[in-house]
Structure 1
Amino acid sequence: MSFTVHVAQSDISFSCAAGTTILDAAKAAGYDMPYSCRTGICGSCKGRIVEGDVEAPASMEGISREERESGCTLFCQAKPVSDVQIAPRSISKLDPNAHKLVKAKVYRVTRAADDVSLLQLRFPAGTKIKFKAGQYLQVLLEDGARRSFSMANPPQQSDGVQLHIRHLAGGRFSSYLESGANAGDIVSLEMAFGDFYLREDSDKPIVFVASGTGFAPIKSILEDVFKRKLTTRSMVLYWGGRRSKDLYLSELAAQWAQSQPNFSFVPVLSEPEDGWTGRTGFVHHAVMQDLPSLLGHEIYACGVPAMINAARRDFVDKCGLPTDAFFCDAFVSTDTAVSG
């Protein structure tokens, strides 16, 4: 059984098989809608159901109860149970060149912390792949499984990618890095994916919020901003971890704060070691202490779901941040979600 999905105020319609999400059906039909985490956390794929019925999980972190009651849903989770009419934030034909399959070579693996490796991959000679700063790629494993990681380098470095990979117990790709990765190994990739990128049509002050390896896509965005001299907007990075070692490239962020106009860096530790004189507590609480009103700001947050969800809730409910000014990507340990 399949259902017809019609896009309101357009001539776009496509088929959606029972049990398939609207986002997956749109992609299969050759259409692109905003999305990022694909797990119901980030809220990038939010839109309205104008007519018809869908089934979706009872609780989705990327959407509020009030939004659901007004007819909104997340298209990465919603599955039609009838013909439906939808109103996504945007929809367009997929660019046939948007996603590329490439065989990359391992160039270098370095440990940035006890549990974080920096993996540098090089594309074949003459191959350059376009992506937006903040997007992610997927590593294709031999059995067809996928692992997703944000690019940490800016798009100007298009002959390869740098990935920041947290080592997880039993993690298949991180275990490969620990035990068997060698320079020259071939890694199969597909890229680029995701809706986490800087909105350049705004002049609002920007607050970046990262936890752990959520720094990776923010590094890509900031280095792109610095290279293109898009530095007229006020920018501040709050980067949180448990211990100072978790802020594995804090020296780089501190260098940016010294050399770049309108940029500042605030490291935050939740379990600081003796001698730490910086900020403590939850990283998003530090933002709220410094900026009790976020009206007129834009937030770009990346990290673990707990931080993303708490930041979204508190920034909107307590600091007056408009819901459409919160952009995020959540790092979760699934085959289709960004994992750092």
Structure 2
Amino acid sequence: MNHRITIEGSDAAFDCGPAQSVLDAALRAGIELPYSCRKGVCGNCAGAVAEGEVAGLGGPIRNESCAPDQVLFCMCAPRGDLRIRPAAWHRVDPSARKRFTAKVFRNQLAAPDVSVLQLRLPAGQRARFQAGQYLQLALPDGSTRCYSMANPPHENDTLTLHVRHVPGGAFSARVPGLAPGDAIEVELPFGAVTLEADARRPIVFVVGGTGFAPARSILDDMARWRVERPITLIWGARRAEGIYLRPAIAKWQRQWPQGFRFVEALSGEAREGAFAGRVDAALRAHCPDLSGHELYCCGSPGMVQSVREAAVQALGLPAARFHADVFVNGPAAGAVPA
């Protein structure tokens, strides 16, 4: 039996099954709530239940990012009709998500454990997405993996992925052997960690490892449209070789000679000009007041949480201006068919 879910203060409503997450039901109905990981980690989908009750879907329905009256809409299902109060929402066209059979065009090793994989779409086909979104890649066993697009939206006949080699990874372990012409099934776009088009506040990107991928897509898109706002990029790695695309940084420094600041944070070695330590410590040192800023954080769950705590609890960033894209290993959860 389906339950009816309404969004407080609006005429928006949708049906949700008793074993379906509130987030998945909303997306299926063309109502996009904030989200990223869909696994109860990032906290982007946190919102309040103004009326009704929810039950968990095999995991906690709250995490550290939730306010006392909030739950994670990706991790809960309705026990009856609900009235919810999400942090934000807007209508989308469910048919905008497309599946493609892409082919490997180029496979380059950018760091000892990172491949830059460029996929070419079939002739005449284009992928529509926003900078910062991700795709789902289908594996032969039916499972899926998520990777952010590193290319900007105007380069829409290709898809560029940054893949860290995870020992035993169902896809990443295969990446070094992929050759031009190999076919890969993908579906996109997913995710709501995108840039606000009309925002003019100073913006800070804090990324770890291949969390650089969505930041690169956003920054290249900003460069294309000549967006002028103060930008700080803090990129963390254990060693200098983990900062694997320095030419892109040099390009942004030329584009914004006064407005772009790059901080290299190395936790495993000392290097002249680099910050010695983790990205959350680099954020505290270089951005002591974030009260008027916007922050985009991309990386592992632990890194994102430590940056969230530093930014919101210590540096004055309003919680609503912290945008997180959490990179979680393993199968993607809750795919929503187009």
Does TM, normalized by the shorter one, top 0.5?
yes
1:1-340 alignment, distance < 5 Å: 1-56=1-56, 57-58=59-60, 60-61=62-63, 63-64=65-66, 67=67, 69=68, 71-179=69-177, 181-230=178-227, 232-261=228-257, 262-272=259-269, 276-336=272-332
Distance change >3 Å, CA 89–CA 151, structure 1 → 2: same
Alpha-carbon offset, residue 40 of structure 1: 2.1
For 1:141 and 1:237, locate their aligned partners in 2 and report how far apart those are by CA, in whole Å: 33
| Structure 1 portions without partners, runs of 5+ | none
Question: How many residues were matched structurally?
Answer: 330
Secondary structure at 2:71 match in 1: strand
Contact 1:42 1:62 in 2 (8 A): no
Alpha-carbon offset, residue 256 of structure 1: 2.0
C-alpha RMSD over aligned residues: 1.8
Distance change >3 Å, CA 214–CA 187, structure 1 → 2: same
| Structure 2 portions without partners, runs of 5+ | 334-338
Identity of paired residues, percent? 42
> In the TM superposition, what whole-angstrom CA distance separates every residue of 1:272-305 from its partner, at most 9, and x where no partner exists?
15x5442110112111112211110110110111
Quick one: which amino acid aligns to residue 160 of structure 1?
Answer: T
Quick one: which amino acid aligns to residue 48 of structure 2?
Answer: R
For 1:146 and 1:58, locate their aligned partners in 2 and report how far apart those are by CA, in whole Å: 23
> In the TM superposition, what whole-angstrom CA distance separates every residue of 1:17-45 from its partner, at most 9, and x where no partner exists?
22321111223344332211112222222
Contact 2:104 2:181 in 1 (8 A): yes
Secondary structure at 2:310 match in 1: helix
Distance change >3 Å, CA 91–CA 320, structure 1 → 2: closer
Secondary structure at 2:146 match in 1: strand
Contact 1:41 1:60 in 2 (8 A): no
Quick one: which amino acid aligns to residue 265 of structure 1?
Answer: F
> In the TM superposition, what whole-angstrom CA distance separates every residue of 1:190-228 from its partner, at most 9, and x where no partner exists?
011101111122211011100000000000000111111
Alpha-carbon offset, residue 58 of structure 1: 4.3
